[in-house]
Chain A
Amino acid sequence: MTEQTEAINSVPKTKGSRSVVKILLSILNHFVIRRFLFFIFVVWLASTVIFIIPRLSGQDPVKEKLLLEAQRGGAMQTGLDEMAKTYQKRFGLDQPLWVQYRNFIGDLVKLNLGVSIAFFPRTVNDIVFESLMWTLGLMGTVTILAFILGTLAGAFLGWPRRPGWLQYVFMPLLTLSAIPQYLLGMILIFIFAFKLGWLPLFGGYSPASLPSLTFEFVVDVLRHAILPAFAIVFSSIGFWAIGMRGMMINTQGEDYMIQADAKGLKGARIFVRYAVRNALLPQVTGLALVLGTIITGQVLVERVFSYPGVGDILFQAIRLSDFFVIRGIVIVIVLGIALATFLLDVLYPLLDPRIRVRNS
């Protein structure tokens, strides 16, 4: 980056428009900007694919919805076609494909994801945003918690000077990580909610209560979050611990670890600054990728607990072939992954100085 600023400073101001172009080019060539442009490109490409694929299926979401309503309210087949046409016009589905595409991209730039078909007249933004809060609130917190606990556990497990009893922790962790999260969820529900009745069976909050910022409501939300949180934490601690333990053991064989001992450093310093610091690098890559996918990664867990998160909404949207909501969620997922990768690209050089930034 210093090279970059030097390059900019060295350009004489009197040279006029050519140097302006040069500066612009050099800014465009900056590592962060390049990564950001790539991020935009990925999002655009993914959105285009998302736009095309549902239209290849040949299904008519409006008709599907109307048929469903018709069945629910007793046979009312007459006039269905006209009704479908009216709604298609409302949703803009009667226009030529390229106009639809142009509108779609235009809306996307304005972050307007359209209107839900199944939950009409609620907007997709509204639905996705609300469920995203639940998902990020629970899954985000829990994923980071599992990462921290698992990495710590793995760091100690892979440390030769650890206390002896720690090795008995490893086997249960391994076993737990082999159980699928939804299965662990069901077991937890069965024991703690169904048999013992200590915790609620499902949902993000009690159906009777109204979402508000009162103490009772917060406690209620937390009580609902305990079981899904445990299901996820327990099944992913093992995953992080195994990875970290392996990396720690690899680090032990490095020359700089022997040298750290030969330098007579204190054990704590060798552990933190030499072993963990180096073993952590691949873990961070893993975390960024997992954070990008938490939005969907927990569809099954959210389903099991009927948790009002993105996973649950996605499940319902697919069932009702509400492709505006599906598209909205998929776009959010793409954004999530692309954003996580972008952040990783930008932050990783800070963690590992060997990943040098090419400012050619």
Chain B
Amino acid sequence: MVKSTIEETRVSNEQAIKTYRPDARISDIDALIVKDFSVYYETEAGTVKACDNVSLTLKQGERFALVGESGSGKTTLAMGLMRLTRPPGHIAKGSVKLNGRDVTKLSDDEMRKTRLSELALVPQGAMNSLNPVMRIEQQIMDGIIDHLDERDSRPSAQELDEIVKDLLNRVGLRPQVARLYPHELSGGMKQRVAMAIGISLKPNLIIADEPTSALDVVVQRQIMQTLGRLQEGLDASIMLVGHDMGLVAQFADTIGVMYAGRMVEVGPVYEVFSNPKHTYTQLLIQSLPSLKEKKELVGIPGLPPKLIDLPPGCVFSPRCPKPTEECKKGKIEMGLIEVSPGHLVDKCCVNCGQN
């Protein structure tokens, strides 16, 4: 985990966690309400529950971060919310209310129009999420053009050109970048282009899927700052998918910890970091390196379980350092309960009483 993305590199972990956005404008309107959302993959060996009964709520203007190990279902959830799950995966159940509409019930064409205009994805732009044979300007324009209503008059080439230049300017790129091809850009520039595309239709919700992976720490910081500025400018909500706890701590307002396809802990960043309730969250935070003292890095022993063959009882029990018999046998039903306002934790770890 990279530490130097935290606002001031000299600040220790413990201090950095407290950096909470003082000027955040979070409204009372629920931008996104996800209920019992499940994405299953049907394979020959059985059903893989990559995302199981996830519920969460995002206020307009809120920054929500989704963390967890690789394979914990973060990206599956993010892609599922956009209905971009590919076969053999499918949305098994649940509802996703975005601006009052259930996106799981939209027709394919309505869903297509919702993407980018209400719900935008900022992918790992440093990878190859840009079409290698199209100029940047074309890739920004085509999303805009395909979202025009039949009634709208098509904007002129000059108008489109202005829009592209404005978008590039907002993500901190020179207007000349419009005429370039993706291979002529650096990783950070590609990520900025990906953000320019993401905000081109002023969405209410931006899903940023590990936007800083494959970038060096200096660029990571710049990208996160730009992303935050854009989000604030649009008054949009953001769902940041990532596994960099340090980066998340600094950026997000609320945090959701996923493990084996389930949400195990959700709460305000400060609350979760200072008073983690779930054993997995505690271990994740412990594994962060500290700048204050020189000590050995602590990991979480074991591997995430196979999603096709989940352990009985609490999914985390095989790796839990102090599991009770009840945890292992699954006498406690899994599910989130509220421990303090806005802070939800899986029942198992709450009932355990050891925390």
Asked if residues B128 and A266 are in contact (CB atoms below 8 Å), the reply is no
Asked if residues A254 and B128 are in contact (CB atoms below 8 Å), the reply is yes
Asked if residues B129 and A255 are in contact (CB atoms below 8 Å), the reply is yes
Asked if residues B117 and A258 are in contact (CB atoms below 8 Å), the reply is no
Q: How far is the CB of B279 from chain A (nearest CB, A)?
A: 34
Does A256 have its Cβ within 8 Å of any Cβ on chain B? yes
A-B contact count (CB 8 A): 77
Choose, from B141-149, B154-162, B266-274, B289-297, the stretch at the interface. B141-149
Q: How far is the CB of B150 from chain A (nearest CB, A)?
A: 13
Does B114 have its Cβ within 8 Å of any Cβ on chain A? yes
Assuming the contacts A264-B113, A264-B117, asked whether A256 and B146 have C-beta atoms less than 8 A apart, the reply is no
Asked if residues B146 and A265 are in contact (CB atoms below 8 Å), the reply is yes
Q: How far is the CA of A50 from the CA of B197 in the complex (A)?
A: 58
Name B residues whose Cβ lies closer than 8 Å to a Cβ of A: 79, 82, 84, 112-117, 120-121, 123-124, 127-134, 142-143, 146-147, 181, 183, 194, 197
Which of A263, A278, A351 is within 8 Å of B197, CB to CB? A263
5 A-B residue pairs with Cβ-Cβ distance under 8 Å, sorted by A, are A256-B128, A259-B194, A261-B115, A269-B142, A351-B133
Residues of chain B within 8 A of A265, CB atoms compared: 112, 142-143, 146
Residues of chain A within 8 A of B197, CB atoms compared: 259, 263
Residues of chain A within 8 A of B146, CB atoms compared: 263-266, 269
Asked if residues B130 and A256 are in contact (CB atoms below 8 Å), the reply is yes
Which of A263, A273, A277, A352 is within 8 Å of B115, CB to CB? A263
Residues of chain A within 8 A of B84, CB atoms compared: 258, 261-262
Residues of chain A within 8 A of B115, CB atoms compared: 261-264
Asked if residues A354 and B132 are in contact (CB atoms below 8 Å), the reply is yes
Q: How far is the CB of A256 from chain B (nearest CB, A)?
A: 5
9 A-B pairs besides A254-B128, A265-B142, A352-B133 with CB distance below 8 A are: A255-B127, A256-B132, A262-B115, A273-B134, A277-B133, A278-B133, A352-B132, A354-B132, A354-B133
Asked if residues B181 and A262 are in contact (CB atoms below 8 Å), the reply is no
Asked if residues A264 and B128 are in contact (CB atoms below 8 Å), the reply is no
Q: How far is the CA of A353 from the CA of B131 in the complex (A)?
A: 11
Main secondary structure of the interface of A (DSSP, over half): helix
Q: How far is the CB of A273 from chain B (nearest CB, A)?
A: 7
Q: How far is the CA of A258 from the CA of B115 in the complex (A)?
A: 12
Assuming the contacts A255-B123, A259-B121, asked whether A264 and B131 have C-beta atoms less than 8 A apart, the reply is no
Sorting the interface of chain A by its residue count into under 10, 10 to 19, 20 to 34 or 35 or more gives 20 to 34
Residues of chain A within 8 A of B116, CB atoms compared: 262-264
Q: How far is the CA of A281 from the CA of B131 in the complex (A)?
A: 13
Asked if residues A273 and B142 are in contact (CB atoms below 8 Å), the reply is yes
Does A274 have its Cβ within 8 Å of any Cβ on chain B? yes
Q: How far is the CA of A219 from the CA of B351 in the complex (A)?
A: 90
Assuming the contacts A264-B147, A265-B143, A273-B134, asked whether A255 and B128 have C-beta atoms less than 8 A apart, the reply is yes
Q: How far is the CA of A259 from the CA of B140 in the complex (A)?
A: 12
Which residues in chain A, 46-100, are within 8 Å of chain B measured between CB atoms? none
Which A-B residue pairs are the 5 nearest by beta carbons? A264-B115, A262-B121, A263-B143, A255-B129, A353-B181
Assuming the contacts A263-B116, A265-B142, asked whether A258 and B129 have C-beta atoms less than 8 A apart, the reply is yes
Residues of chain B within 8 A of A266, CB atoms compared: 112, 146
Which residues in chain A, 242-288, are within 8 Å of chain B measured between CB atoms? 254-256, 258-266, 269, 273-274, 277-278, 281
Which of A264, A351, A354 is within 8 Å of B181, CB to CB? A354
Asked if residues A278 and B142 are in contact (CB atoms below 8 Å), the reply is no
Task: With CB as the reference atom, state the residue of chain A lying closest to B135.
Answer: A353
Task: With CB as the reference atom, state the residue of chain B lying closest to A281.
Answer: B133
Which of B123, B132, B133, B142 is within 8 Å of A262, CB to CB? B123
Residues of chain A within 8 A of B113, CB atoms compared: 264
Q: How far is the CA of A352 from the CA of B117 in the complex (A)?
A: 30
Q: How far is the CA of A278 from the CA of B132 in the complex (A)?
A: 8
Q: How far is the CA of A266 from the CA of B147 in the complex (A)?
A: 9
Q: How far is the CB of A257 from chain B (nearest CB, A)?
A: 9
Q: How far is the CA of A353 from the CA of B133 in the complex (A)?
A: 6
Q: How far is the CA of A265 from the CA of B183 in the complex (A)?
A: 22
Task: With CB as the reference atom, state the residue of chain A lying closest to B147.
Answer: A264
Q: How far is the CB of A274 from chain B (nearest CB, A)?
A: 6
Q: How far is the CB of B193 from chain A (nearest CB, A)?
A: 11
Task: With CB as the reference atom, state the residue of chain B lying closest to A353.
Answer: B181
Q: How far is the CA of A264 from the CA of B103 in the complex (A)?
A: 14
Residues of chain A within 8 A of B128, CB atoms compared: 254-256
Q: How far is the CA of A357 from the CA of B82 in the complex (A)?
A: 40
Task: With CB as the reference atom, state the residue of chain B lying closest to A352.
Answer: B133
Residues of chain B within 8 A of A255, CB atoms compared: 123-124, 127-129
Q: How far is the CA of A353 from the CA of B134 in the complex (A)?
A: 8
Please indicate which of the listed interface residues A262, A265, A351 has the most CB atoms of chain B within 10 Å of its own CB.
A262
Residues of chain A within 8 A of B112, CB atoms compared: 264-266
Q: How far is the CA of A127 from the CA of B117 in the complex (A)?
A: 66
Assuming the contacts A263-B115, A264-B113, A264-B117, asked whether A273 and B131 have C-beta atoms less than 8 A apart, the reply is yes
Residues of chain B within 8 A of A274, CB atoms compared: 131
Assuming the contacts A255-B129, A256-B132, A260-B131, asked whether A353 and B183 have C-beta atoms less than 8 A apart, the reply is yes
Asked if residues B131 and A256 are in contact (CB atoms below 8 Å), the reply is yes
Asked if residues B114 and A264 are in contact (CB atoms below 8 Å), the reply is yes
Q: How far is the CA of A274 from the CA of B182 in the complex (A)?
A: 14
Task: With CB as the reference atom, state the residue of chain B lying closest to A263.
Answer: B143
Q: How far is the CB of A163 from chain B (nearest CB, A)?
A: 15
Residues of chain A within 8 A of B132, CB atoms compared: 256, 278, 352-354
Assuming the contacts A263-B116, A266-B112, A277-B133, asked whether A258 and B142 have C-beta atoms less than 8 A apart, the reply is no
Which of A258, A264, A351, A353 is within 8 Å of B143, CB to CB? A264
Assuming the contacts A265-B146, A353-B181, asked whether A259 and B129 have C-beta atoms less than 8 A apart, the reply is yes
Residues of chain A within 8 A of B79, CB atoms compared: 258
Q: How far is the CB of A275 from chain B (nearest CB, A)?
A: 10
Q: How far is the CA of A218 from the CA of B191 in the complex (A)?
A: 60
Task: With CB as the reference atom, state the residue of chain A lying closest to B120.
Answer: A262
Q: How far is the CB of B187 from chain A (nearest CB, A)?
A: 13
Q: How far is the CB of A225 from chain B (nearest CB, A)?
A: 36
Q: How far is the CA of A265 from the CA of B123 in the complex (A)?
A: 16
